[in-house]
Structure 1
Amino acid sequence: MRAWKFGDDVDTDAIIPGRYLVLNTPEELAAHAFEGVRPEFASSVKKGDVVVAGRNFGCGSSREHAPLALKGCGIQCVIAKSFARIFFRNSINIGLPLLECEGAGAIEDGDELRIDMGAGIVENITQQRTYRASSLPDFIQRIVGAGGLIPFARELLEEEQ
């Protein structure tokens, strides 16, 4: 999977400009992802690609549209040095996995990555380096694996019956 590199303090308006908040589906939002900062992103990103960033990724407004746009693009996960807390929670709620990784700054745009979410391992195939990320707790991995909080809650209800 290809790394799409961004810097620090990428806010939700950079991920999906506010004028597109009237769109309803992740796929519609995806067509405008990073439109103002990387116009080629939406037309070039491939399913399974990864967004890599610095500190405070997803800062700004608390809108859920930003992680929905990334999920609609087929982004496998977002790797950053740190995340704005509301973005982190919104991403988990819709089933978009995130990894906090201090080594994210060493990853370059276009690097090929392999990720082991459970172990928190990011392998940079291009640079032949491995980075340690904080792995998600098991219950959060279950939420993400189910596709988000609502599908996870449905699974729990079905287990009880």
Structure 2
Amino acid sequence: MTDDAQDPSKPARAWVFGDDIDTDQIIPSRFIVSSEAGELAEHTFEDLRPAFSREVQPGAFVVGGENFGSGSSREQAPLSLVGAGVAGVVAESFARIFFRNAINLGLPVLISPEAGRIRDGDDIHMELATGTIVNHTRDEEYEAESLPEFLQSIVEQGGLKPYTRAKLQG
């Protein structure tokens, strides 16, 4: 699992974005010369929301609308979120490749048609096993599609590489 400050079951601030947030908005293509999560994190949402990389705290959540992570299939977009300490991403829907890249990197993602009820700055947390998002600010719960058990295992291990390594050693 991720470090305790990035535990999706712990409440933290939601950073809310809209529909059709593409990978170039998450990490502008001019910064993908690196594949280091920490370096990428310095430029996460730089053109869309310049204060994000300075103000985001480990454990925060990103909330999107429809089609979050569309565009290029590059894994630097979810990797920049991992580097920024994001504990998870909730969206109404995801671009398929972004969704899988996030899982492969150990970044929890939940699909929730109720994601639009979350407001910027709300304190939320995710319960991956049940597919529940709890909004502590509004005292509400939202349903999401729970991740299949094997995808939960990949996330809990910190991504596909650590998961595979553990399987091969076990």
Q: Shorter-chain TM-score: what band?
A: over 0.9
Does residue 142 of the first structure (1) align with residue 130 of the second (2)? no
Deviations 1:133-161 (A, max 9, x none): 111000000011111111111100011xx
Structure number with the bigger relative contact order (C-alpha 8 A, sep ≥ 6) is 2
Provide the rounded CA distance (Å) in 1 between the counterparts of 2:71 and 2:98.
Answer: 9
Which residue pairs with 1:52 in the alignment?
63
CA displacement at 1:15 relative to structure 2: 0.1
CA displacement at 1:119 relative to structure 2: 1.0
Answer yes or no: is the 8 Å Cα contact 2:35–2:76 preserved in 1.
no
Which residue pairs with 2:165 in the alignment?
154
- Matched residue count: 159
Provide the rounded CA distance (Å) in 2 between the counterparts of 1:99 and 1:88.
Answer: 9
Task: State TM-score, norm by structure 1.
Answer: 0.97
Of 58, 61, 70, the residue aligned with 2:72 is: 61
Q: Which runs of 5+ in 1 are unaligned?
A: none
Of 90, 107, 124, the residue aligned with 1:113 is: 124
Of 134, 141, 146, the residue aligned with 1:123 is: 134
Provide the rounded CA distance (Å) in 2 between the counterparts of 1:101 and 1:109.
Answer: 16
Q: Which runs of 5+ in 2 are unaligned?
A: 1-11
Answer yes or no: is the 8 Å Cα contact 2:38–2:83 preserved in 1.
yes
Does residue 103 of the first structure (1) align with residue 106 of the second (2)? no
- Which 4+ stretches in 1 moved above 3 angstroms? none
The answer to which of 108-117 and 5-14 deviates more is: 108-117
Provide the rounded CA distance (Å) in 2 between the counterparts of 1:52 and 1:24.
Answer: 24
Provide the rounded CA distance (Å) in 2 between the counterparts of 1:124 and 1:153.
Answer: 33
Give the AA of the match of 1:111. Answer: D
Deviations 1:84-112 (A, max 9, x none): 00001111111111000011001000001
Give the AA of the match of 1:78. Answer: V
Which residue pairs with 1:41 in the alignment?
52
Identity of aligned residues (%): 53
CA displacement at 1:114 relative to structure 2: 2.2
The root-mean-square deviation of aligned C-alpha atoms, in Å, is 0.6
Which residue pairs with 1:18 in the alignment?
29
Provide the rounded CA distance (Å) in 2 between the counterparts of 1:124 and 1:144.
Answer: 22
Provide the rounded CA distance (Å) in 1 between the counterparts of 2:154 and 2:17.
Answer: 26
